[in-house]
Amino acid sequence: MPPDKKQFIIGPISPAADGALYQQIVDRVKREISEGRLKPGVALPSFRQFAEDLLVSVITVKRAYEELERAGIIYRRQGLGTFVADLGHDRSREAKLETAKNLLRAGFREAAEAGLKPAELSELAHQIIREK
């Protein structure tokens, strides 16, 4: 790799991890954008380069990029490459917030089924927040 080329790293992608490989890529790219490590206008690796870096197929990367593009988080320019959209941070954050809400709803449902009362649930939530 030439010394002036910055390697794009999103962490390991594994068939043993939860979720399809393309979804792992989508989730990690969203996280990098929402946490500010990938700024608007930043070029993403080509399908081929990213697939090589992650040891996955080009089709897997293409599917991930297509999903991110449909969500308005990235955009492609023919002949130029793929880039983080200007509103990519906001859209990525919105998607992560929606995921968090769905997880909380499921958790609240489980807690209610376990017999926790609202005050107990509130205390549990505060306890979990303090653990972070």
**pLDDT tens track for 79-131:** 999 999 987 667 777 777 777 888 888 888 888 888 988 888 888 888 888 88
Quote the CA–CA distance of 131 and 129 in Å, as a whole number. Answer: 5
Confidence grade of residue 3 (pLDDT, cut at 50, 70, 90): very low
Instruction: Enumerate the H helices of 71-132 as residue ranges.
Output: 88-113, 118-131
Cα 9 to chain centroid distance, Å, stands at 13
Pair type for strands 74-77 and 43-44: unpaired
- Domain annotation for the chain: domains and CATH numbers: 1-132 (1.10.10.10)
Q: What is the pTM of this model?
A: 0.66
Tell me how crowded residue 4 is: count the other CB atoms within 10 A of its CB: 5
**10 near 32, Cβ under 8 Å?**
yes
Give whole-number Cα distances, 130 to 86, 97, 120, 126, in Å.
34, 20, 15, 6
Strand partners of residue 84: 74
Residue 108: per-residue pLDDT = 86
Residue 89: per-residue pLDDT = 67
Residue 63: per-residue pLDDT = 97
Confidence grade of residue 2 (pLDDT, cut at 50, 70, 90): very low
**pLDDT tens track for 18-45:** 889 999 999 899 888 888 888 999 999 9
Q: Which tokens is 109 given?
A: 């449902």
